[in-house]
């Protein structure tokens, strides 16, 4: 069995989208700045290889319904991943199929989505793709083995926070990998349980 | 003339204190975890030298009134810095003097505190010591030349945020220095104006 991990781009003030995200602007105001590191013109050419290598361990993907609903159109109406996707949703529907791509399946609970993803991934890893509700639930329920953050040096002011605000929940992490680049600082944390 | 910089310990979820900070517990619930990196038992012995070297550039300090009011008792009723301090406050009072320590001066505005600190620092730097209100105003008014963050791998849930929440303010930074340690990841950013 592999591990469950996430790779999320987050602003210096803790947001994974800008404010006012909607179907027309899925990342919210200025939210696209969070993903510029993937396309930075001055990017080290070895960087894509590093990213590809990290993603090569993935065997299945879990995401939230909102991410699917807002994403499927920008993704060109197909699964953006090379692996089966499990969408946790209170509104299940038939699988979304596209030619030459694994199906996107809809599952009636977060726990069931995680369990099915782990099962189909086998020895490979499960990627938690997002969005905020999935990350927050996964952290709260200790199903994240590695939290990989691309810390992007921008402030967005508001938007959807990576970490659930409020309360007195204390959690600790261990930094197990780091990789600074001009466009983002990549930090991999392991929760200490 | 030197530069104006800050070194602030911040949780992974963006707080510089835990919740419910008060005179009895100035760092709030679990907030002391933010400062453990300064006292970590497994700390590299060269680390204190690195910290001392960074602070050796300082010639004057600016802080907010709340930081003074909550801090002066834990600091043993004396200036915790080796340099003159300027406290920005709406309630000025006579300077706070202690034997063998530079005075802590009270100034009726943030701008005046910064101006007086720059003047007395001369070729040396001005350290913005905190708290949240000082950091937020300094960032909003572009008086921070270098934002040095000790990113501590804990979640506090709530508390005083480093960056002012709300609004659509977008700001960009450049990462100019990076130094990971087990207890904190030190990141130095320069605002891009």
Tell me how crowded residue B138 is: count the other CB atoms within 10 A of its CB.
22
Per-position pLDDT tens, chain B of length 193: 899 999 999 999 999 999 999 989 999 999 999 999 988 777 778 888 999 999 999 999 999 999 999 999 999 999 999 999 999 999 999 999 989 999 999 999 999 999 999 999 999 999 999 999 999 999 999 999 999 999 999 999 999 999 998 866 678 999 999 999 989 999 999 999 7
Contact A122, A141 (CB under 8 A): no
- Rounded CA-CA distance A130/B168 in Å is 23
Show which residues on chain B lie within 8 Å of chain A, measured between beta carbons. 12-14, 18-19, 29-30, 33, 151, 153-158, 161-175, 178, 180, 182, 185, 187, 189
Parent domain of A100: 4-192
Domain total in chain A: 1
Specify the pLDDT at position A165: 87
CB contact under 8 A, B187 and A189: no
- Rounded CA-CA distance B71/B130 in Å is 11
CB contact under 8 A, A172 and B187: no
Mean pLDDT of A171-180: 95
- Rounded CA-CA distance A182/A186 in Å is 10
- The three-point CA angle A152-A154-A169 to 5° equals 70
On whether residue B91 sits in a domain, the answer given is yes
Residue B35, min C-alpha distance to chain A (Å):
14
User: Across-strand partners of B179?
Assistant: B186
CB contact under 8 A, B154 and A172: yes
Report residue A168's pLDDT band, with 50, 70 and 90 as the boundaries.
low
On whether residue B79 sits in a domain, the answer given is yes
Specify the pLDDT at position B109: 95
Bond into A131 cis (ω within 30): yes
On whether residue B23 sits in a domain, the answer given is no
Query: Which value, to the nearest 10 degrees, does the dihedral of the CA atoms of residues A155, A161, A162, A166 take?
Result: 120
On whether residue B97 sits in a domain, the answer given is yes
Q: Indicate the range of A95-104, A129-138, A165-174, B46-55 predicted with least confidence.
A: A165-174
Specify the pLDDT at position A48: 87
Specify the pLDDT at position B167: 64
Specify the pLDDT at position A182: 87
ipTM of the shown complex? 0.92
Which residue from A minimizes the CA distance to B176?
A: A182
Size of interface A-B (CB pairs under 8 A): 107
pTM, two decimals, is: 0.94
Counted residue by residue, chain B has a size of 193
Residue A170 has pLDDT above 80, yes or no: no
Nearest to B154 among A151, A168, A170 (CB): A170
On whether residue B22 sits in a domain, the answer given is no
Residues of chain B contacting A156 with CB distance shorter than 8 Å: 170
Nearest to A185 among B162, B163, B187 (CB): B187
Mean pLDDT of A126-153: 95
Which residue from B minimizes the CA distance to A167?
A: B157
- Rounded CA-CA distance A27/A4 in Å is 24
Extract the runs of DSSP E, i.e. beta strands, from chain B: 4-11, 58-64, 85-88, 96-98, 101-107, 125-130, 146-152, 154-155, 171-180, 185-192
pLDDT tens digits, residue range A17-27?
999 999 899 99
Which residue from A minimizes the CA distance to B18?
A: A168
Specify the pLDDT at position B178: 96
Tokens of residue A23, six digits: 């179907």
pLDDT tens digits, residue range A126-139?
999 999 999 999 99
Three-state secondary-structure class, residue B171? strand
pLDDT tens digits, residue range A1-43?
899 999 999 999 999 999 999 989 999 999 999 999 988 777 7
Nearest to B174 among A153, A157, A163 (CB): A153
Specify the pLDDT at position B165: 87
Specify the CATH number for the domain of residue B184: 3.40.430.10
Residue A155, min C-alpha distance to chain B (Å):
5
Residues of chain A contacting B12 with CB distance shorter than 8 Å: 163, 173, 189
| Count helices and strands in chain A by DSSP H and E runs | 4, 10
């Amino acid at each position: 069995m592999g591990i469950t991990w996430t790779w999320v781009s987050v602003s210096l003030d803790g947001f994974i989208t800008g404010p006012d995200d909607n179907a027309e602007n899925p990342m919210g105001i200025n939210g696209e700045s969070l993903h510029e590191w993937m396309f930075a013109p001055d990017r080290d050419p070895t960087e894509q290889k590093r990213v590809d290598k990290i993603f090569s361990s993935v065997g299945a993907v879990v995401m939230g319904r909102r991410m699917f609903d807002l994403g499927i159109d920008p993704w060109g109406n197909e699964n953006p991943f090379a692996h089966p996707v499990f969408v946790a949703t209170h509104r299940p529907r038939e699988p979304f199929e596209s030619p030459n791509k694994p199906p996107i399946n809809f599952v009636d609970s977060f726990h069931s989505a995680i369990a099915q993803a782990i099962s189909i991934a086998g020895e490979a890893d499960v990627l938690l793709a997002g969005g905020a509700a999935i990350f927050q639930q996964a952290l709260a329920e200790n199903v994240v083995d590695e939290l990989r953050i691309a810390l992007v040096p921008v402030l967005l002011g508001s938007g959807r926070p990576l970490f659930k605000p409020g309360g007195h929940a204390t959690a600790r992490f261990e930094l197990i990998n780091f990789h600074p680049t001009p466009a983002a600082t990549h930090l991999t944390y392991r929760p200490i349980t």
